[in-house]
Chain A
Amino acid sequence: MTAGKKSGGEAGDRLRALGLGAASEETRAPSGAAIHVEDLTAAYDKKAVLWDIDLEIEENSITAIVGPNGAGKSTLLKCILGFLKPLSGSVRIFGKALREVRDRVAYVPQFSEVNWDFPISVRDVVLMGRYRSIGWFRRANASERAIAEDAMREMGLSALASRQISQLSGGQRQRVFIARALAQRAELLIMDEPLAGVDKSSERIIIDKIRELKSEGKTIVCVHHDLNTLRSYFDHAVLIRRYVIACGPVEEAASEENIRRAYEDLI
């Protein structure tokens, strides 16, 4: 690392203070990681939102993506799910391109993206999770329906199955979307703020379910807001603030130092 010495100078010091030190080496090979992001930069029209993101999310983990507002958490999810074409870099899921493994990935969207005026029942929403395996044109058969019913029961929604989604509370709605993801029988669940606007009892149900999924060998990635519950709910964390500040087991990644870096106003 001969170049390390040359990185001195005032600009270098201040770049380091931003948390932009040298990238760690282990993010190189796409090993058995569930999600492997390399040198990802993403931008909307006017501003760059993510800068040179390198990260790896371990298989069979519960990982939180944490950072202040505008840090690019949702953008990172959008890049991972292929909604947004990055300016540079690549994303591998289970070591493959997204389109090869789409059936193994389930997504729980943010509330604001959903059209709540649409008249649709809980059962029909959960059944959407089976659409890829039912096919777009065939009728849903009994076994597909049974999977959807199972998913509803697991999220405590059986009694609400015929209700309209617009009549449910925030926590119940979130459980419906998680049930839909469960019905997909995916190995990787990506959730955009599953605990935002959710009451305590629903939060309990959701967290218990997430832990159970982990014990079944699945991988869960959530955008998360609440720093207080970070350590108790998650075992891994990614701290971002337009670039990666830390990534790894929650105890290390969410250290005082890293959190200060992510949230304090620099300069």
Chain B
Amino acid sequence: MTEVLFVLLMTAMACGLLGPFLVLRRLSMTADALSHSVLLGIVLAFFLVRSLDSVLLTLGAALFGLLTVLAVELLSGKGLVKRDDALGLVFPMFFSLGVLLITRFFRNVHLDIEIVLMGDPLFAPFVRLFGLPRSLVEMFLLFLLNLSFVILFYEPLKISTFDPSYAFLLGIPVKRIFYALMILCSFCCVTAFNSVGAILVISFFAAPAAAASLLSRSLWQMILLTLLLGALNCLIGCLIAFRWNVSISGMCSFVGMLSVLLLSLFSRGGILRGMRRRKQQRERFKEELLLLHLYRHRGDREETGFESLFRHVNWSRRETERYIGRLMKMKWVFADPCDKIYQLTEEGRERLLLAMTA
């Protein structure tokens, strides 16, 4: 059980290094497409090397992932289709072809389509290398590769992520960096296919990074947070999955989605705070607007009268009186009893000036 957890954690770490870049460049669905079409790569490579454990298989399949991205870029670059449509055309085709080849030719080989997509981490410890689960070793190597890529190319990666055209002006090879990112991504999908499954890889790319994007202010913060949250998703997902004896990969992806949902509800820029902030903002606007109205129509018995003001701003009488009450409490407005109108005080006028020049 612990070994399964370690394999998952290592996968989360390896993917977590690339996740922030994929999320910031809006490439999560591209990674999803890539993970599906890698299936065809695996099948084709298997035709040649006739072994599921060969390094050549990994290399071949990863190159095929890159081919998918190239195809998408080619189709959308020629203006034949929009990028989203190109994605939606290329990956189902490759995936279908992969499925057909498997079902027609490899019925008896251990290459189950369901396992490729969903994976089953429970099998991971059975294949061993240097006394450790093979997937763990592979993922660790991949982690080192990704880490050195991110560290070595940190600046160009950062600039080309946030401002591609500026990066281009600086002479940064934007295209090459994009493809490098994609091929590393492709390696992650291939390596993960027989341990955790392709779908979970996407979840490991997208979920912790999206959650981290809600919490962090700088890129390195986001990367660290992604690693942390990825590990946390893994832990929680694994514990629940072990407890109820359900799909580990599935649980981890579900926990990943839940974590982002919760964060987007409750975080600083989140839905709940946003709603409250919008409400406060509306109330402030309404106060300022009353000030302005009273100023512009100062002395007008109809427009600012006790009995008629609410009709002019087109609110209910109760609401109007509530706001007027607030303004009077702030000493910005006073009620003129002889003309039966509301008027601004000098403080009210200053407050209005502040609002209008802000």
Contact = CB atoms under 8 A, between A and B. Distances in A.
B136 interface: no
A26 to B, nearest CB: 13
Contacts of B356: 15, 18, 20, 51, 243
A14 interface: yes
B85 to A, nearest CB: 10
A52 interface: yes
Interface string A45-69: 1101001101000000000000000
Nearest to B345: A6
B195 interface: no
Interface stretch (B46-54, B105-113, B297-305): B297-305
Contact of B349 (A11, A51, A266): A11
Interface stretch (B31-39, B227-235, B248-256, B285-293): B285-293
Nearest to A266: B357
A3 B298 contact: yes
A43 B349 contact: no
A28 B302 contact: yes
Contacts of A243: 292, 356
A160 B299 CA distance: 59
Interface string A89-125: 1100000000000000000000000000100000000
B299 A2 contact: yes
A89 B314 contact: yes
Nearest to A45: B278
Given A6-B343, A88-B314, A45 B349 contact: no
B339 interface: yes
A20 B296 contact: yes
A45 B273 CA distance: 13
A187 interface: no
B215 interface: no
Contacts of A88: 286, 289, 293, 313-315
A135 interface: no
Contacts of A87: 282, 285-286, 289
Nearest to B304: A3
B299 A52 contact: no
B346 interface: yes
Contacts of A6: 298, 343
Interface in B16-53: none
A7 B285 contact: no
A38 B303 CA distance: 11
A241 to B, nearest CB: 11
Contacts of A54: 296
Contacts of B298: 3-4, 6-7, 22
A30 to B, nearest CB: 12
A142 B293 CA distance: 52
A126 B167 CA distance: 45
A3 B292 contact: no
B148 interface: no
Contacts of A41: 285-286, 289, 292
B6 interface: no
B295 interface: yes
Interface in A117-154: 117
Nearest to A5: B299
B299 to A, nearest CB: 3
Nearest to A28: B302
A52 B286 contact: no
A159 interface: no
A104 B217 CA distance: 51
Nearest to A11: B349
B350 interface: yes
B75 to A, nearest CB: 16
B168 to A, nearest CB: 26
Given A11-B350, A18-B357, A20-B295, A43 B285 contact: yes
A12 B349 contact: yes
B311 to A, nearest CB: 9
Contacts of B82: 117
A9 B350 CA distance: 10
Contacts of A9: 346, 349
Interface of B: 82, 278, 281-282, 285-286, 288-289, 292-293, 295-300, 302-303, 312-315, 336, 339, 341, 343, 346, 349-350, 352-353, 356-357
Pairs A-B, 9 closest by C-beta atoms: A3-B299, A11-B349, A88-B313, A41-B289, A3-B298, A23-B296, A90-B314, A11-B350, A1-B299
Given A41-B289, A45-B278, A48-B288, 4 more contacts: A4-B299, A11-B346, A15-B353, A20-B356
5 contacts: A3-B298, A20-B356, A39-B293, A41-B289, A90-B314
Interface of A: 1-4, 6-7, 9, 11-12, 14-15, 18, 20-23, 28, 38-39, 41, 43, 45-46, 48, 51-52, 54, 86-90, 117, 243, 266-267
